[in-house]
Amino acid sequence: MKTKSILNSLIDSVPAIRSLLIRYDPMHLSQNILIKYLQTIEKLLNDYWNTHAIQYYTKTIRSKVNYLPDNLKFIANNNGIIGEN
């Protein structure tokens, strides 16, 4: 299934700190295809350009913020979550 078809089947999304609620039309998009698509996107987020952008931001704009370089780790630590929970 092409990206445009997948995106046209999405109704709404609600991002949270460690989760993403996605409403989609199951008549036009199967759960399996949606999950595979999301897994593909997730792999792209840890690429060179995203990593470089975070490093650049850290060095030039906000060099002393407590949530970088890993804001998920920062949030976990502040909420008493240890490890890969």
pLDDT higher than 80, residue 65 = no
Query: 32-42 burial string, b = 16+ CB within 10 Å, else e?
Result: eebeebeeeee
pLDDT higher than 80, residue 11 = yes
Rounded CA gap, 62 and 45, in Å? 21
Write down the pTM of the prediction: 0.53
- 43 pLDDT tier (thresholds 50, 70, 90): confident
Neighbour tally for 71: CB within 10 Å: 13
Task: Output the six-digit token pair for 43.
Answer: 């792999």
With CA atoms as reference, report the closest residue to 2 among 33, 35, 43, 48. Answer: 33
